[in-house]
Amino acid sequence: MTYRALIPVKTLHQAKSRLAPYLNEEERAALVLTMLQHVISTLLDSAKFECVSVVSADSKVLEQAQSWGARALFEERQGHNPALEAAALGEMATGAETLLTISADLPLLQVNDVCNMIEQSRQYKVVLAPSLDGTGTNALLARPPLALPYLFGPGSLQLYSMEAKQRELGFALYHSIGFALDIDTINDLETFRRYEKEHKAAHTT
């Protein structure tokens, strides 16, 4: 079975607007790119994917993604979900059997998280990774790639679960802090910094 990955990324000037009171535009852009590099590196280090692609309308994002080993896909359609659907159709046209669509802002993601989710997908057509609050979806692993339509947005975990049931697709949830903690608010950023500090402390004692 062949696995590929898609990482959607907003334009840098749009990204992380909820952090604007705390970080200026340059700092927010740097944060986005740092997290993107981490997600790309983690996926590549897992050695599970024949291709990792970044989908964006931002040429700087795509240029950086290529330098980190990902394939650059310029958005063919406007809007988060339509852009992903167009990219997924392209992946299917070139032989993709299973597709992981994953958030770009997962700073605690580890290789082990990726491998465990893929292992779970051997038993289920769809595996969903919930966000920390249990309402959003930070990763969707689907076989075939468009077994479910893209429904990312508020309350997406429930929407995906309902859609999978309606289509009679076996699905499972994969829980891990690596997939769950995405950075949108100052509280998310503080949680990440706390985990990072605790992790460093644990490795120096």
> Bridge partners of 139?
102, 129
Three-state SS sequence of 124-175: CCEEEEECCCCCCEEEEEECCCCCCCCCCCCCHHHHHHHHHHHCCCCEEECC
Per-residue pLDDT at 202 exceeds 90: no
What mean pLDDT, rounded, does the chain reach?
A: 94
> What pLDDT sits at residue 188?
94
pLDDT of residue 204: 53
Range 69-98 average pLDDT: 95
Q: Span 73-98, mean pLDDT?
A: 94
Residue 200: the pLDDT is: 65
- How many alpha carbons fall within 13 Å on the CB side of residue 100? 33
Residue 164 burial (10 A CB sphere; 0-12, 13-18, 19+): buried
Between the two ends of the chain, the Cα-to-Cα distance in Å is 42
Convert the pLDDT of each residue in 118-135 to its tens digit: 999 999 999 999 999 999
pLDDT digits (tens, 9 = 90+) for 45-62: 999 999 999 999 999 999
What pLDDT, on the 0 to 100 scale, is given for residue 203? Answer: 54
Which structural domains are found in the chain, ordered by start? Answer: 3-202 (3.90.550.10)
Average pLDDT estimate for 138-165: 96
Percent of the chain residues past pLDDT 90, beyond the cut: 91
What pLDDT, on the 0 to 100 scale, is given for residue 15?
A: 87
pTM of the model: 0.94
- pLDDT for 5 equals 98
